[in-house]
Every structure is written in C-alpha cells, then in structure tokens.
Amino acid sequence: MTQNSSNIETDPKPIEQIYTVPNIITMIRLMLVPFAFTLLVQGQHDVLAFIIFALAGGSDFVDGQIARRTNQVSELGKVFDPLVDRFLIAAGLTGLFVTARIPLWILCVLIGRDFYLCCGLIRLKVLNAERIDVVFLGKLTTATLLVGFSGLILNWPKTKGLSLVDVSWLPGFNGTLTAIWIYFVYVGMIFSLSAAVIYTFKGIKMAQAAKSLSQSN
C-alpha cells in the first residue's frame, strides 16, 4: 500500500534520500496515469487500460513493502506516495465517468473529499502543525477503490442490479446490467468518508496543539 504505516511506532525513521527504489516505483506509477486514462476514455482498449491501471495500483503495494522491508521509508515518499495515489484515483474516476460507468455523484463525492482534506492539510501547514500520517483505513480506502476501478475499466463480469430502487444514478441497486465491481466502489466510498472523519479529528488536535505552542512562544 502506501509507504506509511498504520502504526507510527513501528515505522522506520524516515530517511532524507530522494532517489530510492520505492520513490522510483512511485514515479513510474505517476507516469502510467496518463496512459491508463487515455486508453480508458478512448473506449476501444479496455483490456490494455485495465492492465496498465492494475499495474499502477499494484505498484502502490510493492513500493510500500520495499520501503519498509529495506528501511527506505523517506520523507519524500511519505508525501509523494499518497499524492500519486490521489492522481491515480482522480484519473480513474474521471475516465469512468466519461465512459458512463459511474454516475456524476460518485465522482463529486470522492473528488470533493480529497479537496476537503487538501484544504485541511494547507491549513495545518500554515499553522506549522505536524503532518498527519496515513491511517490504515486510508490505505484500505485506496486499495478498495483501485480494485473497483480496475474491474469497472475491464467492465466485466456484468450482472443485473439488485432492483431495490428505480433510479438511474444508483447502478448496482437498480435493475440495470452493471459490472459487479461497482460494489467495491460503494464500499470504498464508505471507507473514504470514514477515513475523512478520522483525519478531521486528528487535524483538529494537531491544529490546537500548534496554536498552543505558538501562543506559549
């Protein structure tokens, strides 16, 4: 997953190096994003788009494992790795919306969530507060969404929805034919919003601590 650990105490001390193997893998993942997006929106190369997107998503696990097992967790990687994850997810979301495989509201919710957290990070930076490390639920969110997006890019296998509602904007819960991977996206959204709540409370505590420190000085 990402180069952060869910348990801060077990993280190796970050190094200052830039050109590490995990960071290079992360850079390659970033370079794959426009290729996967272009192939997806063209609508004629679903299998190739799936392969590239799946490789990019899988590299997220590989770079984190290498970083921890070889003590190459770096200060750059702790910021760069989750940032590239967001680019990958944003590209997947946009491409799936353009190809009509997800409704607009899913795109808005997930992009809006990331924008909200980005604003919070900027606020913490202004206050000179400590950076918030990625929590386990955040990693689980990324993994679940990447699995769901990869499956929707392949757009197979398909099944009839649960027919619980009669609205077009809830694929999987209406009666239309849809790829089963849409359910991974719904679960990922629940994880995503729950993680946002956790980050919010952590951010509030760090902001208060930063303000107290500033006032004492």
What pLDDT is stored for residue 12 in this prediction? 57
**Six token digits for residue 80:** 């760069």
Asked whether residue 3 is assigned to any structural domain, the reply reads no
Asked whether residue 75 is assigned to any structural domain, the reply reads yes
Asked whether residue 1 is assigned to any structural domain, the reply reads no
Give the chain's residues under pLDDT 50: 1-10
Residue with tokens 């601590």: 209
Residue span of the structural domain in which 121 resides: 8-216
What is the count of structural domains for the chain?
1
What pLDDT is stored for residue 17 in this prediction? 86
Q: What is the pTM of this model?
A: 0.88
Question: Which residues lie closer than 8 Å to 217 by C-beta, 6 or more apart?
Answer: none
Cα gap 104→159, rounded to integer Å: 21
The CATH number linked to 119 is 1.20.120.1760
Q: Helix-strand-coil percent breakdown of the chain, rounded to 5? A: 70, 5, 25
Provide the total of helices (H) and of strands (E) in the chain, helices listed first.
6, 2
**Phi-psi map region of 163: left, alpha, beta (phi>0 left; psi -120 to 50 alpha):** left
Cα gap 189→140, rounded to integer Å: 11
**What stretches of 14-103 show up as alpha helix (H) in DSSP?**
21-42, 46-69, 75-98
Asked whether residue 2 is assigned to any structural domain, the reply reads no
Tell me, what amino acid is at 80?
Answer: F
Asked whether residue 83 is assigned to any structural domain, the reply reads yes
Residue with tokens 């899913």: 106
**Phi-psi map region of 71: left, alpha, beta (phi>0 left; psi -120 to 50 alpha):** left
Asked whether residue 84 is assigned to any structural domain, the reply reads yes
